[in-house]
Amino acid sequence: MKDPRPNGAPSTSQRWWPPVMLDSEWVSAHLEDFDVYHLHFGFDAQSPEQLTELINALKRHNKPLVYTVHDLRNPHQTDPAAHAAALDVIVPAADQLITLTPGAAQAIRRRWNRTATVLPHPHVVDLPRLGLARAPREGFRVGVHAKSLRPNMSILPVVRVLAEAVAALTDGELIVNIHREVTDPAATAYAPHVMQALAELADHGLLELRVQEYFDDEKLWDYLTSLDLSVLPYTFGTHSGWLEACHDLGTAVAAPDCGFYAEQRPCLTYGHNQQAGLNEGSLREAVQTAYENRPASRATAKYRIGERAQLAAAHRALYSSVLQ
């Protein structure tokens, strides 16, 4: 079911809003439209009380709740308390839980004494694009996408190490992309100190700085395919759709040791988390390993098609179980 727009929201708007389907009144008004309520994302703005109202409405009308636990820690929130409070409402109440990795399932069992079915994330890139061969290219290109400086990103320490590590490679090139709103004084993402530091590194020839608008899907796939290594500069998180896209396209990933990225798909790991900070040596080692071990692991269209069929069957079985 497509998420309905709130009253008054323009049809062309790209702005995020709390999904209407999270409203308990929506549940009561659409009982004939669904059999199972499957929650993934979107409840960032909901209070525990609002989530409790939603769950009570589902229980009142005998509508089972399935929740896929993508994030044990919300990468968009600096303070973990709000997401933790939401999970404390949703996870105990769900009729069935799904998550993407064994490590996340173990964390769920420790925290809530609940069992989560582990199902991998399906392909992110469309199958026709997934099957295209990568164009041959000279050199070794490393990319960091700073986006809009999401709260779980620590950009400058990572980029400074990468600038030195990539410069030491005979044919190395470092690209740093960042959204234009980081340069806009009126935007919440405005960070002039970050832009100044990146510009200084660019002026010294240590990286290419690209200030841009948000990528659409095709531009994002083009960008990822242009890289030999994509470095995720996260200090906290759980799983990554970006990593899945890189796996689809054959771009190596260096992921931090926080969360469960290393269990999700084949990738390189370096030390980077809120507790210990950045392990510079491990990041340099990841770059060197990616440089020496090209090409990267890549999903095949045949494998992803088979995986998607298995995931669909697993979801159907799980939905059937909660409807009995």
* The pair of three-digit structure tokens given for residue 142, joined into one six-digit string: 């490393």
The reported pLDDT for the residue numbered 4 is 53
Q: Are 259 and 270 in contact (CB under 8 A)?
A: no
What is the rounded distance in angstroms from the CA atom of residue 77 to the CA atom of residue 245?
23
Element (H or E) spanning 81, and its range? helix 81-93
C-alpha to C-alpha distance for 91 and 116, rounded to whole angstroms? 10
Average pLDDT for 20-45: 95
Is the pLDDT score of 13 beyond 70?
no
Is pLDDT at 310 greater than 90 in this prediction? yes
Spatial contact of 137 and 258, defined as CB atoms under 8 Å apart: no
As a whole-number percent, the residues of the chain with pLDDT over 90 amount to 91
Q: What is the pLDDT of residues 162-174, one digit of tens each?
A: 999 999 999 999 9
- pTM of the entire predicted model: 0.93
According to the model, what pLDDT value does residue 137 have? Answer: 87
Confidence band of 63 (pLDDT split at 50, 70, 90): very high
Mean pLDDT, all residues of the chain:
94
E strand spans, 130-196: 140-145, 172-179
The DSSP H or E segment spanning 288 is helix 280-292
pLDDT at site 295: 87
Count the Cβ atoms, other than its own, within 10 Å of residue 99.
Answer: 24
Using DSSP's 3-state secondary structure scheme, residue 269 falls into: strand
Nearest to 272 by CA among 168, 182, 155, 165: 155
In this prediction, residue 9 carries a pLDDT of 42
Per-residue b/e over 76-93, b at no fewer than 16 CB within 10 Å? Answer: ebeeeebbeebbebbbeb
pLDDT at res. 160: 98
CA angle 126, 130, 133 (to 5 degrees): 150
Strands 96-99 and 268-270 come out as unpaired
**Could you count the other beta carbons within 10 Å of the beta carbon of residue 302?**
10
How many other CB atoms sit within 10 Å of the CB of residue 206? 19
Strand 96-99 vs strand 65-69: parallel, antiparallel, or unpaired? Answer: parallel
What average pLDDT does the segment 26-31 reach? 96
* More confident site: 117 or 15: 117
What span, in angstroms and rounded, lies between the C-alpha atoms of 247 and 245?
A: 5
Query: Which residue segments constitute the domains of the chain, with CATH numbers given?
Result: 20-123+317-323 (3.40.50.2000), 127-292 (3.40.50.2000)
Split at pLDDT 50, 70, 90, the class of 17 is low
- Cβ neighbors of 156 (< 8 A, separation 6 or more) are 194, 197, 198
Residue 110 has pLDDT above 90, yes or no: yes
**What's the rounded Cα separation, in Å, for the pair 107 and 145?**
29
8 pairs with which residues across the strands?
none
What mean pLDDT comes out for the span 35-49? 96
Contacts of 171 (CB under 8 A, 6+ apart): 138, 139, 140
Tokens at residue 184, please? 């806009």
Are 236 and 212 in contact by the 8 Å Cβ rule? The answer is: no
Closest listed residue to residue 274, CA positions, set 190, 164, 153: 153
Q: What's the pLDDT at 19?
A: 83
Structure tokens at 40: 């993934």
Kindly tell me the number of DSSP H helices and DSSP E strands found in the chain: 12, 12
Q: What is the pLDDT of residues 224-259, one digit of tens each?
A: 999 999 999 999 999 999 999 999 999 999 999 999
Give the separation between CA 73 and CA 44, rounded to whole angstroms: 11
